[in-house]
Chains A and B, each alone.
Chain A
Amino acid sequence: MANVASTTASAGSELTARALREAVFSGLITLGLFVLFVGLKSDQNIRNELILNQRWSLLAIFVVVAMVGRFLMVAYAQPWLAQRKAVKAAAPEVAKEESFFSRNFSKIAILALVLYPPVIIALFGVQGSLKWVDNFGVQILIYVMLAWGLNIVVGLAGLLDLGYVAFYAVGAYSYALLSSYFGLSFWVLLPVAGLLAACWGVVLGFPVLRLRGDYLAIVTLAFGEIIRLVLINWTEVTKGTFGVSGIAKATLFGIKFDASKDGFAALMGLPLSSAYYKIFLFYLILGLALLTAFVTIRLRRMPVGRAWEALREDEIACRSLGINTTTTKLTAFATGAMFGGFAGSFFAVRQGFVSPESFVFLESAVILAIVVLGGMGSLTGIFVAAVVMIGGTEILRELTFLKMIFGPNFTPELYRMLIFGLAMVVVMVWKPRGFVGSREPTAFLRERKAVSGSFTKEGHG
């Protein structure tokens, strides 16, 4: 494919012929795939009878889209890509100095996040900032924190955990129940929720010590479901599917965010608005997320963090170097779970309402997807992945203009998972190790160098 640049006329027509052939094939495959899904639709008529609607035109659209897409792919996109690759290969390797932006990415990002609420208020006003700070800011940061927490278990220690949402649930219910039964404040219960989640992390850790990979994944998946089912069925305490509502809000050094005389707005002489509380929550979750990142970075340089990474690489070698793999695994589970618990109690305080609905397997899957897409172990990559994935789904809600194209019944957020899945496939094809596939070494004698991920196969660390 290297000489595509010098395509002759005959080669060109050959390419077109091949593209046509492949277009027909993909059209047939699409037809076969979708004839039952799209072409036929079972429905009920007025008399409650089952009838089959035939939607041949819609099916035809699917098939045509697939055929045209394949044709364009083979005839134009692939030669173009190959040509670009050839040009790139021919060009001499230039040692590229990292730009200022990429060198200081994390500092710039933190600064941007700290400045985010004031900037949004300046742009949209206090009331208009609500949506941007809450839906985008807080929502994304919760997932950033969860993914960073899970990253300790999956990214560093290499223990595939499909039930991470269980610890999120433990944290959320710890705060919700302890505050409504005993009236304890958020700041007291935050560490308590973290501790309880960490305990459950150890409880999960013990039976799965001997398991790895797929087997571990299955057991953790089951654990997540067990926690959810307990929450649903233990109705005397958790109120089952009704959930716990009216959860107390967090306070800032005892200052409440409400309409009372000594509330935040009155004290500051500001007009009453729920936006202040949201901004407070934004900084709270930002602080919690940064704490997670800070702890992760520090732990990686400490014996236990190094042991986690070594454990991910080779358990047997670890043992023969005198590392107690039992405690190493348990600390990984406990630490990861603790941050899940923090995030959970934050979630409860933000929503003011928790129910088992919020802690379904899909949440675990989304968090894990963010970790994998970001590049296991890389905090920056995970942050970017969370912004893209969660921000992307939030943006879908905003795309109301699509209703003009697809009709008033079109709700873009229903296509969330479809786009989510597509995005994952695309990222995994182009960047199989995630957005940031390199890992920062923790040992240096003199200079530090990033270690590229591209030299080893996927699955090898």
Chain B
Amino acid sequence: MTAPLLNVRGVETYYGNIRALNGVDVEVHRGEIVSLIGANGAGKSTLMMTIFGKPQARTGSINFEGQDITRLPTHEIARLRIAQSPEGRRIFPRMTVLENLQMGASLDDLKHFKEDVEKVFTLFPRLKERQAQRGGTLSGGEQQMLSIGRALMARPKLLLLDEPSLGLAPLIVKGIFDAIKKLNKQEGLTVFLVEQNAFGALKLSDRGYVLVNGRVTMSGTGKDLLANPEVRAAYLEGGRH
């Protein structure tokens, strides 16, 4: 296999004196969907934020396309074409849907704005209907679509999704997962997904990691993890009802 697109090696992240990540190794290869599952407080979002340089890893290294990004400031990491749909979506509430998408395209100074907006609108037709509406007036699902759409506007090489299913109805979650799958299949987009919804995430993914107390305890293909009795016991039984 070629060198991974994103390579996280032995990363430890602290909040003050509290260690949130305890030597995490994760690899994401081009064209893959990789998911990271784990319980509340396992450090999933911390890993996501550490990749984006806030907070920075105290030890270990993060490489993207062979470049060390461990100590880069967030906005410079984003300029390497890593896009993120952050936890809690973080759309701009007072700006319209279209303006939100515009912000996503600011890296290239809107050179291919029209073209990319059409792509996002094809992927999420709901956003087209709501294009002149304020981001804050959208429903949760629509906001999630907008958040992903905004990330896609930067033409990312790697898309990080932090709990896209958070607080959404199952049908909408399915729609969003389908959209992610479609992006991966059609555009070859590499996706790194952090999820509590382990079943949905693993079904979607090529590979998966299980994070427990800031440490990766298991990894494998999505199928293997789904079939793994420990994973089933910890994250799936009860979760599927």
Contacts and interface: CB of A to CB of B under 8 A. Distances in A.
Nearest to B89: A317
Contacts of B117: 445
Contact of A441 (B86, B91, B103, B132): B132
Interface in A46-75: none
Contacts of B75: 319, 322-325
* Residue with the highest number of chain A CB atoms closer than 10 Å, among B52, B93, B94, B137: B94
B151 to A, nearest CB: 8
B79 A322 contact: yes
Interface in A275-334: 303, 306-307, 309-310, 312-314, 316-325
Interface of A: 303, 306-307, 309-310, 312-314, 316-325, 439, 441-445, 447, 449, 451, 455-456, 460-461
B8 interface: no
Interface in B116-133: 117, 131-133
B86 A445 contact: no
Contact of A451 (B78, B110, B134, B150): B134
5 contacts: A321-B78, A323-B75, A442-B102, A447-B132, A451-B94
A65 B46 CA distance: 61
A320 B159 CA distance: 12
B109 interface: yes
Contact of B103 (A321, A325, A456): A321
Contact of A461 (B83, B104, B136): B136
B92 A317 contact: yes
* Residue with the highest number of chain A CB atoms closer than 10 Å, among B84, B104, B110, B134: B134
Nearest to B81: A322
B78 A310 contact: no
Interface string B11-51: 00000000000000000000000000000000000000000
Given A321-B106, A442-B99, A445-B117, A451 B132 contact: yes
B168 interface: no
B86 A316 contact: yes
Nearest to B85: A320
Interface string B146-163: 000010001000000000
A316 B101 CA distance: 16
Given A324-B75, A455-B134, A455-B137, A306 B91 contact: no
Contacts of A313: 92-95
Interface residues of B, number: 38
Nearest to A158: B94
B107 interface: yes
Nearest to B86: A320
Given A314-B90, A322-B154, A444 B84 contact: no
B54 interface: yes
A447 B92 CA distance: 21
Contacts of A307: 103, 106
B74 interface: yes
B95 A309 contact: yes
A460 B94 contact: yes
A310 B136 contact: no
Given A303-B109, A322-B75, A317 B102 contact: no
B106 A322 contact: yes
A309 B76 CA distance: 20
Contacts of A314: 90-92
Contacts of A325: 75
* Residue with the highest number of chain B CB atoms closer than 10 Å, among A320, A439, A447, A461: A320
A312 B112 CA distance: 25
B94 A306 contact: no
B205 interface: no
A310 B102 CA distance: 10
Contacts of B133: 451
B56 interface: no
Contacts of B107: 321-322
A62 B76 CA distance: 63
B96 interface: yes
A415 B151 CA distance: 54
Nearest to B90: A317
Contacts of A322: 75-76, 78-79, 106-107, 154
B98 interface: yes
A461 B91 CA distance: 12
Nearest to A316: B90
Contacts of A449: 132
A148 B211 CA distance: 51
Given A324-B75, A325-B75, 6 more contacts: A306-B102, A307-B103, A314-B92, A320-B78, A321-B78, A455-B134
A456 B137 contact: yes
